[in-house]
Amino acid sequence: MKKFVLIVVLLISAAVFCFAGAVWKTRTVTEAQGKGQSNEVLMQCFAQNGDVKQIFEEVKNEDSFFPKGSYWLFKSADNVLYLVNPEEKTYSELPFNTIFKLVGAMGKIEISNPEVKLDKLGKETVLGFACNHYKMVVDYDMEIKIVLIKSKGHEHIEKEVWAAPQVKALTEMGEAFRYRDFKTGMQDLDDLIEVQMKAEANLGFPLKTVSVTTSIDKKGNSKEKSRVTQEVLSIGTKNLPASTFEIPADYKKTGIGKRGEG
């Protein structure tokens, strides 16, 4: 479950940083109380005409989804996410919306009493771009019933964003890679995501995001806390050849999350 959450975070990170002929480097640092959930990932990224490629140049805690030197490739024409391992010359396929619908298929998540607040904090400069600096606070009650996991509590999320309005990116992205296609199949969760998206619409292209999540149990005790910092380190434009987004013909297809013949 938590692995899928991390995958969603990285995909959403890619979604807000992509535009045609773009080359950028980004760092995502996750600090969490849960065992094995903290990580630091440095990615070299490319995007053009809806196709997106993320190369994992440095990964502090590697696993089958995030081995160093591997990359994720999204092909807009296929609407499929490919997990590619050049060292082993293998790749796996994951239909894009499957990531989110798998979470919904595993059980039930009920969300109630949602509240979203957005405060504009002024203007600041990031990487030479004039940015809108704003803070979003999201609160909601959540009950989870997934296989043997049952929990009930309150979620409090504080997200601080620096977004550049002059970076026009979203119009160049493929339709299949837009936020509105990130559906879990759980209406409460999908409605909450939509509310957050609408609150941030037209505020600009995020160059830096700091998101802190606190889980509070029924007794009012802090149950779990995580901090995810995403920031673009450099960004530019380049006419990318079609081969940038192609998997070499001699690579072998394997099962999702598997390595080599495993």
Percent of the chain with pLDDT over 90: 30
Q: What is residue 262's predicted lDDT score, i.e. its pLDDT?
A: 34
pLDDT value at 178 more than 50: no
Q: Name the CA dihedral angle for 77, 168, 19, 255, rounded to a multiple of 10 degrees.
A: -70
Lowest mean pLDDT among 34-38, 39-43, 76-80, 165-169: 165-169
When pLDDT is cut at 50, 70 and 90, the band that residue 95 belongs to is: low
pLDDT at 13 over 60: no
Which percentage of the chain shows pLDDT scores above 70? 76
pLDDT digits (tens, 9 = 90+) for 113-149: 888 999 999 999 999 989 999 999 999 988 877 767 7
Parse the chain into domains and list their residue ranges. Answer: 2-253
Whether the model pTM is above 0.85 = no
User: Of 57, 104, 77, 58, nearest to 177 (Cα)?
Assistant: 77
CB-based contact 89:69 (threshold 8 Å): no
Give yes or no for residue 166 having a pLDDT over 70.
yes
